[in-house]
Amino acid sequence: MKVVVFSAKPYDRVFLTEAARATGHELVFVEATLTADSAVLADAAQAVCVFVNDHGDAAVLEKLAGMGVRLVALRCAGFNNIDLQAARRLGLTVARVPAYSPHAVAEHTLALILALNRNIHRAFNRVREGNFALDGLLGFDLHGKTAGIVGTGQIGAITAGILQGFGCTVIAHDVHENPDCVARGIAYVSREELFARSDVISLHCPLTPQTHHMIDADAIRRMKRGVMIVNTSRGAVIDTRAVLAGLKAGIIGRLALDVYEEEGDLFFEDLSNNIIGDDVFARLLTFPNVLITGHQAFFTKEALGNIAETTLANIDAFARTGEPMHRVSVEKIAD
């Protein structure tokens, strides 16, 4: 099967080519993000392989289906960028990689929490400048603090376990309780109670209409003064303007982001020679108590290997049977 891989980076080529070696499928790598304009690059392909910031709205899917594409293989877990209703209407099959390394994302979450709390991002620069003053680097003991986890699926549950290892009291909010978390003594509470009690709030739910802008002005008003908020899930779970106001008011004491609601125009590219046109993002970068990484939580050798293998398994199963290993469908989401 011919597969056009959109948003292809050098590391995608390495891992996907290796995984495709034994399958005989032809991979064509293009650097372009999938959009209504670039969809034409999938001409004569039966499948496209896409990532988190590729566009999968109805207009794009219509173009793909019109050219004969039958499979959209996401090489990520989240699928909020694909219009599943449109895909079903057009007879397009959508597949994803439901799990590749929840440890990668959970460990990055802890890296952000620890670095931000102890100001490692500032200390690194200071020491290199010969500035060994400690003023402004004051952190807090994680031990004994309350950490609130929103979404205790694969990543949230592992993050919760690591935080328990640090001696945190972990509370959680989810639409479904995870029995493993309950067994480990994690109490499930309402969203409002989690916001009110947590010293650290870590977001691990998917982006859905219910979680869109979950962290808004109203939620921030309920939080403890000085709270740390960490988002490694999807950018739009946070209302960035409300968070900016919360930072300026001192309610949010620390903010760590691996995702940003308008990241599609920024992340995964070297823009160091460009002027950043997004004033909200640019303002975030000015705060000493904000730490941002560019959607790299998943980025480990193990995760990339697993993503490539599962993506090729989806493509291969679809080519042989018409059904990928891990289909995403409107019906399944409604479960």
Q: Which residues are catalytic?
A: 234, 263, 295
Residue 234 within binding range of ligand NAD, rule CB under 6 A:
yes
- Bridge partners (DSSP) of residue 254 are 228
Between 42 and 160, whose beta carbon lies closer to ligand NAD? 160
Please tell me the distance from the alpha carbon of residue 56 to that of residue 40, in angstroms, as a whole number: 14
* Binding-site member from 41, 67, 78, 140 for ligand NAD (CB under 6 A): 78
Give the largest Cα separation in the chain, rounded: 64
Please tell me the distance from the alpha carbon of residue 124 to that of residue 117, in angstroms, as a whole number: 14
Please tell me the distance from the alpha carbon of residue 150 to that of residue 171, in angstroms, as a whole number: 9
- Contact between 178 and 192 under an 8 Å Cβ cutoff? The reply is no
The stretch among 140-148, 170-178, 247-255, 277-285 that binds ligand NAD (CB under 6 A) is 170-178
Residue 151 within binding range of ligand NAD, rule CB under 6 A:
yes
Between 85 and 208, whose beta carbon lies closer to ligand NAD? 208
- Which of the residues 102 through 141 are near ligand NAD (CB under 6 A)? 102, 105
What mask, x for binding ligand NAD by CB under 6 A, covers residues 16 to 45? ------------------------------
Between 46 and 235, whose beta carbon lies closer to ligand NAD? 235
Closest CA to 28 of 2, 65, 56, 66: 2
Beta strands in the chain (DSSP E): 2-5, 26-29, 47-50, 71-74, 93-95, 146-150, 169-173, 187-188, 200-203, 227-231, 252-257, 290-292, 327-328
Residue 297 within binding range of ligand NAD, rule CB under 6 A:
yes
The residues binding ligand NAD (CB under 6 A) are 77-78, 102, 105, 150-156, 173-176, 204-208, 210-211, 232-234, 258-259, 295, 297-298
